[in-house]
Amino acid sequence: MYENGTSGDSRGRLEAAYVGRMSGVATGIADAVWEAQGLIEADNFPAALVTLRAALATTTLDPDSPDPDTADAARLYAGVLTSLGESYSALLYSTYAHRATQVLDKPTALRSMQADLIHAFVLRATARMAESVTLYRDVVQRLAERFGPAGRPTLAGRADLAAALHAAGLCEEARTLLHRTYVSHREAFGKTDAQGVRVLTRLGVITRDCGDFERAHQCFDEAKALCVAQELSVVDPLSRHVTAAARAGSDPDHMCGEPAISQAGLDVRDLFVSAFDPAVRDLVVSALDLDVNDPLVSAVELVTSGAPVSLVADPHLSQDASLWFSSVLGHVGGHLNIEGSGSYPFTVDATVSNREGLSYVQIRIFAPGVNPNELPAGNGHTNDD
């Protein structure tokens, strides 16, 4: 998922949100977090482990006096350790991140939800199934509050909850939840959306583990057909994922109604919340701490999609307002006039890309009547003054 440090009412203050981090901004542990994130996205987990271990060795994990950069580093370290088979070692770090963010952030802040999702993942990996399911349920509810019930982060969280329910032996609930998640995803984003195909494939996997082989292969066949409909090659990552899942055998240790006593082979990269590409709506909601239905969210989403929205360019910030209509946004600004919400001076620096190439997204919105040129430039962190 992505980073966020905003909180509280945003309308009267400069707000900025980053997905990833801008190089040269952070130092110390924050530098290590930035470096490790790049290594993780490049699938170089051993190098990320070394980087994070060295950084965390310089600090004390005291959840009663938490540090946000240390919490981020501990969260990443826990995910890497678990993926490399050291889940019990990871528990110390995921617990710190979980407890630290309870002090640092409100429950719906993204740092808090990221930490809790990783902690729930580590709890599952260490066979603490009841605790994992309880935490997943709580985070999914918070994701729905933040992004809406049909938001990509919410649906991704629901899919990961279903996997935890299955591991806990609550198989009927797991299959029902995952099927409903797939239907919701298909209705919101279309049947060929890659994340939806992955959800359908996971539904086939847990259905096969529960012994319903015919229905499981119906899921796999439908997922394969959706890949063919998109004309994906056999070496495309999504096609390979579906094919590998269909060819694999069922879990011989799974028993419906009984919690698993071990969870070998879990990988943080398999989490649905780690794989989705954040939509503009998700970025705006997280940046400004707005309700998902706020008119401002819809307006910015429309602008970045190229739809007509009342826009007055500020010549001091942009030479060409048509930059709004390109797929990758540059530095643009002006006044955004939104029916039912008012007129907002704004600046936006944005690069919208997939998770392999994502650089950063910064959104700055000023309250009506505020002159952006009279306020200090953003430094990549939220100004809560």
The residue among 276 and 325 whose pLDDT is bigger is 276
Residue 41 lies in a domain: yes
Domain CATH number, residue 155: 1.25.40.10
Q: What is the pLDDT of residue 311?
A: 39
Q: Are residues 334 and 196 in the same domain?
A: no
Task: List Cα–Cα distances, 202 to 156, 205, 239, 314, in angstroms.
Answer: 12, 5, 14, 48
Q: Are residues 196 and 303 in the same domain?
A: no
pLDDT of residue 85 exceeding 70, the answer is yes
Q: What is the pLDDT of residue 109?
A: 81
Task: List Cα–Cα distances, 268 to 274, 275, 358, in angstroms.
Answer: 7, 10, 19
Here the contacts of 207-211 (C-beta below 8 Å, separation 24 or greater) are 207/175, 208/250, 209/166, 209/250, 209/251, 209/254, 210/171, 210/175, 210/254, 210/256, 211/250, 211/256
Q: Are residues 43 and 183 in the same domain?
A: yes
Q: Which of 160, 184, 207 is the last residue of a domain?
A: 207
pLDDT in tens, 132-143: 999 999 999 999
Using an 8 Å Cβ cutoff, are 300 and 287 in contact? no
Q: Which of 181, 207, 233 is the last residue of a domain?
A: 207
Q: Which of 184, 207, 230 is the last residue of a domain?
A: 207
Residue 316 lies in a domain: yes
Mean pLDDT (the chain) is: 75
Q: What is the pLDDT of residue 342?
A: 54
Q: Are residues 37 and 176 in the same domain?
A: yes
Q: Are residues 62 and 193 in the same domain?
A: yes
Q: What is the pLDDT of residue 126?
A: 96
Residue 257 lies in a domain: no
The two beta strands, 342-350 and 361-365, are: antiparallel
Residue 325 lies in a domain: yes
Alpha-carbon distance of 374 to 106, in angstroms, equals 30
pLDDT of residue 344 exceeding 70, the answer is no
Alpha-carbon distance of 162 to 172, in angstroms, equals 10
Q: Are residues 198 and 316 in the same domain?
A: no
Q: Which of 107-111, 185-189, 291-295 has the lowest mean pLDDT?
A: 291-295
Alpha-carbon distance of 305 to 211, in angstroms, equals 44
Q: Are residues 193 and 321 in the same domain?
A: no
pLDDT of residue 302 exceeding 60, the answer is no
pLDDT exceeding 90 applies to what percent of the chain? 48
Q: Are residues 307 and 196 in the same domain?
A: no
Q: How many domains does the chain have?
A: 2
Helices and strands in the chain: count of H runs, count of E runs: 14, 4
Q: Coil, strand, or helix at residue 350?
A: strand
Alpha-carbon distance of 208 to 219, in angstroms, equals 10
Q: Are residues 46 and 184 in the same domain?
A: yes
Residue 148 lies in a domain: yes
Which residues are CB-neighbours of 215 under 8 A, at least 6 positions away? 207
Residue 337 lies in a domain: yes
* pLDDT band (50, 70, 90) for residue 315: very low
Q: What is the pLDDT of residue 121?
A: 95
The position carrying tokens 């938001």 is 151
Q: Which domain holds residue 339?
A: 295-374
| Mean pLDDT of the region 111-125 | 93
Using an 8 Å Cβ cutoff, are 1 and 79 in contact? no
| Mean pLDDT of the region 155-166 | 95
Residue 357 lies in a domain: yes
pTM > 0.85: yes or no: no
Q: What are phi and psi of 27, to 5 degrees?
A: -135, 165
The position carrying tokens 């390109």 is 326
Using an 8 Å Cβ cutoff, are 16 and 299 in contact? no
* pLDDT band (50, 70, 90) for residue 284: low
Among candidates 67, 133, 128, which has minimal Cα distance to 97?
67
Residue 186 lies in a domain: yes
